[in-house]
Amino acid sequence: MIAHNLPALQVVLPLIAAPLCLLLRGSNWPWAFATLVSWAAFAISAALLSQVLDSGTISYAMGGWAPPWGIEYRVDTVNAFVLLIVSAIGAVVLPYARVSVGHEIPAERHPAFFTALLLSLTGLLGVTITGDAFNLFVFLEISSLSSYVLIALGRDRRALTASLQYLIMGTIGATFIVIGIGLLYMVTGTLNMADLAARIPAAVDSRTLLAAFAFLTVGTTLKLALFPLHSWLPNAYAYAPSVVTGFLAATATKVSVYILLRFFFTILGTKYTFERLTLEQLLIPLATVAVLVCSTVAIYQNDVKRMLAYSSVAQIGYIILGIGFVSTTGLTAAIVHLFNHAVMKGGLFLALGCVMLRVGSVRLDAFEGLGRRMPLTMFAFVLGGLSLIGVPLTVGFISKWYLVLAALEQGSWLLAIVVLVGSLLAVIYIWRVVEVAYLRPPRADAPPVTEAPISMLIPTWILIGASIYFGIDTSLTVGIAQRAAESLLGGAS
Amino acid sequence: MDIPADIPGLYNYWIVVVLMMVGFYVVISRTNLVKKIVGLNIFQTSVFILYISMGKVKGGTAPILVDHPVTYSNPLPHVLILTAIVVGVATTALGAALIVRIKEAYGTVEEDEIQAMEPDE
């Protein structure tokens, strides 16, 4: 019974849990409840992934209404993998949240905070699992609205303006997506993704479809913060509470990338998107600029959180570059980097959260002497940084390896060099932090600082450990990514 | 003078385009945050009309079950847009709430004045 209804439970469980969380009182209950729910969500997504890998795509008719009339939840290799990424990050970040949130957010707001976090998790999981285009928009808005709230809870007053800016940009993006979905409905008369994919080849000459394509392109690239539509991201990540930054940086943009994959590969099809409309000619230059410009901008940041936020925009550039190659290797690189970037950036932001807890600031000069005073936190940061650079034996290397392979496959030396230059720029911005933390002595008047509590170090190290482990044993991640890439390219032609 | 059939025939869609551009322009050009949210609202409203227009069937009535066959409008886009309206209300409410907090924190709702108070890094 439960096994059969897993796709529904994946979304319904956190959705029901969110309002219940609001009713809980006491200092730790909301947190404990949210943590349990996130672990259950993780168990469900792991079960779904193994089920999909064993026996292929799962189709679940919501409420027993057969698709395409009812809402279908459809789990294939691609979204089972993304579901696992999102729920795993949720399950790791929530245990970390008790101390960090206790420190950064007033106690009376804790129930509301965890409610918003669970709603955000619901939305992200819902976007990923649904097989219905309009349902995707609804979940996208659930996750976005709750993340605006989460960001606005940052202690700095600039969190408010950052949140409002994200709200405006995010709403424009989501509205563009809903216009695109509406136009698709006008052309095809259906909202079910599989049904849309079957009907679109008959309408490829329609100008309405072209308009839908344009709206979807702008909407999704705004949501995933592709250069030059990334301006909302650095401030939103820099001023949000540490837990929120860690969670959103690892999941929200990844899910937006998934929306792009779903719309362009599964629904509109590679023939239409890339052969007829040559979207890659737009994606590749923008991704290249994102990698080069945002990595450079990251070097000049004095706030380390903001620096990593710019680095995120650059990393999204790598993902889009992989997609732009429209080859199995390129897509494998993009999908495996979804996972790899989630673990390493999640780990890095969690390490920053530890610094925030103990030092009270994540500006560069706050790191003076931290290498000796918070050795475990800073060592985690260094390992995460190495992964960001793409040093062998880290996950970052695996992503870049496949990305360079994909570039060389197409005979594009220039793009392979861009990937390498991006890594060199990452060396510079990571080194700036390492230099301050390890080579500069703490100031004489600096207050004493102790290592972060174990409940925050363990989640940080789980993510950092994963970014090393999956850099050595790639059979799981690359294997799944390869199958996902093949299904995206094969199922759509 | 002949009026091209597109103008009266696609009247609803012209309204959609105009509203969308008006809303979008207000969001981009105004520095007052309240006006930005109003612009965003107009922008979203245009999409409501887009969806409602596409479901309308000429001469169709409301889709109510009756004994004899009748032409009726497609109810699906209308139902969908009810959801989108709820989303729009939630967005506006959240935006307005944020503006209240911004006003408390900065004492102004003008974007340029706020920027002047926070020198960029």
Total domains in chain B come to 1
**Single pTM value for the model:** 0.92
- β-strand pairing of A72-75 with A58-61: antiparallel
pLDDT tens per residue across all 493 residues of chain A: 677 888 888 999 999 999 999 898 877 888 999 999 999 999 999 999 999 988 888 888 888 888 888 889 999 999 999 999 999 999 999 999 988 888 888 888 889 999 999 999 999 999 999 999 999 999 999 999 999 999 999 888 889 999 999 999 999 999 999 999 999 999 998 899 988 988 888 888 888 899 999 999 999 999 999 888 888 999 999 999 999 999 999 999 999 999 999 999 988 888 888 888 888 888 999 999 999 999 999 999 999 999 999 999 999 999 999 999 988 899 999 999 999 999 999 999 999 999 998 888 888 888 888 888 888 889 999 999 999 998 888 898 999 999 999 999 888 888 899 999 999 999 999 999 998 888 888 777 777 788 888 889 999 999 999 999 998 888 888 888 988 888 888 754 3
Check CB contact under 8 Å for A167 and B101: no
Check CB contact under 8 Å for B98 and A148: yes
Q: Which residue out of B12, B25, B87, B104 would a mutagenesis test of the A interface target, given it has the greatest number of A Cβ atoms within 10 Å?
A: B87
Q: Is the peptide bond before A234 cis (omega within 30 degrees of 0)?
A: no
**CATH at B53:** 1.10.287.3510
Question: Which residue does chain B place closest to A152, by CA atoms?
Answer: B98
Question: Does the ipTM exceed 0.90?
Answer: yes
Report the distance separating Cα A15 and Cα A38, nearest Å: 11
A72 sits in which H/E element: strand A72-75
| Least CB–CB distance from B94: residue in A137, A145, A186 | A145
Report the distance separating Cα A241 and Cα A163, nearest Å: 12
| Least CB–CB distance from A160: residue in B24, B84, B101 | B101
Rounded to a whole number of angstroms, the distance from the CA of A140 to the nearest CA of chain B is: 10
Query: Which of these, A406, A225, A206, lies nearest to A311 by C-alpha position?
Result: A225
What residues make up the domain containing B28?
6-117
Question: Which residue does chain A place closest to B104, by CA atoms?
Answer: A157
DSSP A173-202: HHHHHHHHHHHHHHHHS--BHHHHHHHGGG
Per the listing, tokens 């285009």 go with A133
The CA-CA-CA angle for residues B18, B22, B28, to 5°, reads 145
| Least CB–CB distance from B94: residue in A137, A167, A172 | A167
Question: Which residue does chain B place closest to A298, by CA atoms?
Answer: B121
* A13 contacts: CB under 8 Å, gap ≥ 6: A37, A40, A41, A44
* A377 contacts: CB under 8 Å, gap ≥ 6: A351, A354, A355, A358, A370, A451, A452, A457, A460
Report the distance separating Cα A245 and Cα A243, nearest Å: 5
Rounded to a whole number of angstroms, the distance from the CA of B67 to the nearest CA of chain A is: 24
Whether chain A has a CB inside 8 Å of the CB on B16: the answer is no
| Least CB–CB distance from A164: residue in B33, B47, B90 | B33
Query: Which of these, A227, A434, A439, lies nearest to A317 by C-alpha position?
Result: A227
Rounded to a whole number of angstroms, the distance from the CA of B102 to the nearest CA of chain A is: 6
Check CB contact under 8 Å for A160 and B27: no
Query: Which of these, A428, A352, A308, lies nearest to A96 by C-alpha position?
Result: A352
From chain B, the residues in CB contact with A149 under 8 A are: 94
Rounded to a whole number of angstroms, the distance from the CA of A186 to the nearest CA of chain B is: 7
